[in-house]
Structure 1
């Protein structure tokens, strides 16, 4: 039991360091924790995040993968891990893996605007601009509180499915 309390306290200290802008120090502590607790999803997730903050995306990937492979993440952190891994794959030009990861995230978090936005970027990077724009338009219609978007929601959704559609008379 004291080992759990010790782990929790060490993890809290490391997260506090990252939040305070001391990601390098957080990373060092988190790497030690990750070595000590290799199957701990929360430790892996926080370790990935610290690497990402430092621009060490390639080093973040195995920790994100480990976080998603093991149980124990809160719903919020699991969402963050999908988003972090998908975004990191995209930054590393691993577009297929980015799209696959973000789609997996959307299976658990359907219609999530952030996951959809990053998926649209990955689709664009894969040369699938039409699908990317359609996805962004659909995401806009469900996530925007803008009165104009709300007013034209059905039209936007219609054109999102068929970007080349035109109305007779140019409308």
Structure 2
């Protein structure tokens, strides 16, 4: 087994441990793997996630940043890393960074509602309440399966553009 194959096996084993609830063991293995492969974006992403699920957000940040700076993440993992880092910035009080990162993520993945929801939270935290509510109303109008919301979808979309309008 060559160096690359061994890394992939170790990564898969660590992810399997996390998925089975052995999160601290997975985190320790991933930290060691990330130290040996500092430029490997998928390893960095999984290491970030392992810290995040343990509530160790501050420790997750450099791994998320490394994952996003590197190459080799597929679109789904890239989207997950953007959401994870944006959410982590917000939780840590790095709100403007969260808004900037999540704004770019929404542009990159315009169909992803979860990114828009997290951007709305970050906008709220920076005092941009109108933008936050507008984004949430648009998301609600676009994605709700609630029949009453669907009935009023056009009105919701209209008022989302100018919340101060009454007519």
Query: TM-score per shorter chain, which class?
Result: over 0.9
For structure 2, the residue ranges without an aligned partner over 5 or more in a row are none
Offset of residue 32 of structure 1: 0.8
Do 1:42 and 1:73's aligned partners in 2 also have CA atoms closer than 8 Å? yes
Match of 1:159 in 2: 159
Q: Find the aligned partners of 1:69 and 1:84 in 2 and give their Cα distance.
A: 14
Match of 1:36 in 2: 36
Q: Find the aligned partners of 1:85 and 1:73 in 2 and give their Cα distance.
A: 14
Match of 1:112 in 2: 112
Query: How high is the TM-score relative to the length of structure 1?
Result: 0.95
Do 1:123 and 1:129's aligned partners in 2 also have CA atoms closer than 8 Å? yes
Match of 2:77 in 1: 77
Match of 2:127 in 1: 127
Q: Find the aligned partners of 2:133 and 2:8 in 1 and give their Cα distance.
A: 43
Match of 2:50 in 1: 50
Query: How high is the TM-score relative to the length of structure 2?
Result: 0.97
Do 1:57 and 1:88's aligned partners in 2 also have CA atoms closer than 8 Å? yes
Match of 2:24 in 1: 24
Q: Find the aligned partners of 1:143 and 1:2 in 2 and give their Cα distance.
A: 47
Q: Find the aligned partners of 2:22 and 2:105 in 1 and give their Cα distance.
A: 29
Question: 3-state DSSP class of the match of 2:164?
Answer: coil
Do 1:111 and 1:139's aligned partners in 2 also have CA atoms closer than 8 Å? no
Q: Find the aligned partners of 1:160 and 1:17 in 2 and give their Cα distance.
A: 44
Do 1:45 and 1:81's aligned partners in 2 also have CA atoms closer than 8 Å? yes
Aligned length in residues: 167
Q: Find the aligned partners of 1:118 and 1:94 in 2 and give their Cα distance.
A: 14
Offset of residue 3 of structure 1: 1.1
For structure 1, the residue ranges without an aligned partner over 5 or more in a row are none
What RMSD over aligned residues (CA atoms) do the two structures have, in Å?
A: 1.0
Deviations 1:96-139 (A, max 9, x none): 01011111111210142100100010011101111100100001
Question: 3-state DSSP class of the match of 2:4?
Answer: helix
Question: 3-state DSSP class of the match of 2:110?
Answer: coil
